[in-house]
Amino acid sequence: MGAAERALWSLSGLVVLALAWAGGHAAYGPFVLPRPDETVATAFDLVGSGAAGAAVLATAGQALLGWAIGLGIGLALAFPAGFLAPLGLAARPVATLLVAMPPVAWIVLALIWFGPGGGADAFTVAVTVAPMLFGAALQGLASRDPALDEMAAQFRAPPLVRLTDVIAPQLLSHLAPAAGAALGFSWKVCVMAEVMASGAGIGGQLAIARAHLDLPATFAWLLILVALALLSDTLLLWPLRRRTAAAR
What are the extents of the domains in the chain? 35-247
Dihedral angle at the C-alpha atoms of 81, 246, 151, 144, nearest 10 degrees? 30
For residues 190-207, give the mean pLDDT.
Answer: 90
CATH topology of domain 35-247: MetI-like fold (1.10.3720)
DSSP 158: -
pLDDT at residue number 247: 57
pLDDT at residue number 51: 87
68-73, Cβ contacts within 8 angstroms, sequence gap of 24 or more: 69/122, 69/125, 69/126, 69/130, 70/125, 70/126, 70/127, 70/128, 70/129, 70/130, 70/132, 70/133, 70/182, 70/186, 71/129, 71/130, 71/133, 71/179, 71/182, 73/126, 73/130, 73/133, 73/134
CB contact set of 100 (below 8 Å; sequence gap of 6+): none
The predicted model scores a pTM of 0.87
Express each pLDDT in 61-98 by its tens digit.
999 999 999 999 999 999 999 888 888 889 889 999 99
